[in-house]
Amino acid sequence: MKEGPDIALIGSLIGDPARANMLTALTGGKALTATELAGTAGITLQTASSHLSKLEAGGLIAQRKQGRHRYFTLADDDVGLMIEGLMGFAAYRGFTRHRTGPKDPALRKARVCYNHLAGDYGVRMLDSLVAEEVIAGVGDKLQLTKSGEGKITALGIDLAALVKSRRPVCRTCLDWSERRSHLSGSLGQALLTLFLDKGWAKREPESRAVRFTGTGEREFAKLFPLPASSTVERVHKHTVEA
């Protein structure tokens, strides 16, 4: 009927307050679950699910299934850019944000995620492994490098046994406290087992928290030095048009 792109479609997606709240929350760059998004939007889980499927159908968000959780993120940088543009436009009006509430600090520091290490330490470990070129590639596809194989074997991990198992050796797992990837897969499991076996860390009795000992802290820091760029946040690339 009319010429040009359909802005009404996108507008209607953003136009609903619940969806706008969800998108605003996701603009933070962290992956959030449906339950969390429902909380920030102030609606029930059923309604949130409906909204999320609409947003996904509209290509604004993407989901990543992780066990029984579904982590939602903005589809790509373009979406973030567009939403931030709208927020900038609406700057002369008041705007509200909802932040994820604080959690148990011990859990945030180090905890068990199914069978591997998660939390700040887990993220830091993967960062270091990638920086040291033990593991190549970031994202869903991780692979052990040649030199990395030697380094892992030197730790006393039976790499052949890991490879033999049907499970993938290296895998990313999205961290709920850090909202960044940490190492999963059979190698991730083997490393956590190693820490526990060596007595570097102990599991808290009635919690998922993992408590590192003094020696464990030192050994961990020595084994997985903090890369200089590890604290760099994953912010949206605001590429500038030339």
Partner DNA sequence: TTCATACTTCGATCATCATCGAAGCATCCG
Partner DNA sequence: CGGATGCTTCGATGATGATCGAAGTATGAA
Contacting residues toward a copy of itself, per CB under 8 A: 1-17, 19-21, 23-24, 40, 42, 59, 78-79, 82-83, 85-98, 101, 103-104, 107, 138-140, 172, 174, 176, 180-181, 207-208, 240-242
Query: Which residues lie closer than 8 Å to 53 by C-beta, 6 or more apart?
Result: none
β-strand 143-144 against 135-136: which pairing, if any?
antiparallel
d(Cα 98, Cα 215) in Å, to the nearest integer?
A: 39
Quote the tokens at residue 67. 């066990």
d(Cα 164, Cα 166) in Å, to the nearest integer?
A: 6
Q: Which does 47 bind (CB under 5 to 8 A by kind): a copy of itself, DNA, none?
A: DNA
Interacting positions 86-115 with DNA (CB under 7 A)? 114
Candidates 33-41, 94-102, 132-140, 231-239; binding stretch for DNA (CB under 7 A): 33-41
Interacting positions 158-217 with DNA (CB under 7 A)? none
Name which of 115 and 143 has its Cβ closer to DNA. Answer: 115
Q: Which does 46 bind (CB under 5 to 8 A by kind): DNA, a copy of itself, none?
A: DNA
Query: How many Cβ atoms sit within 10 Å of the Cβ of residue 86?
Result: 16
Which among 28, 204, 191 has a CA at the least distance from the CA of 124?
191
- Nearest approach, Cβ of 65 to DNA (angstroms)? 7
Query: How many Cβ atoms sit within 10 Å of the Cβ of residue 219?
Result: 17
Q: Does 43 bind DNA (CB under 7 A)?
A: yes
- Nearest approach, Cβ of 237 to DNA (angstroms)? 27
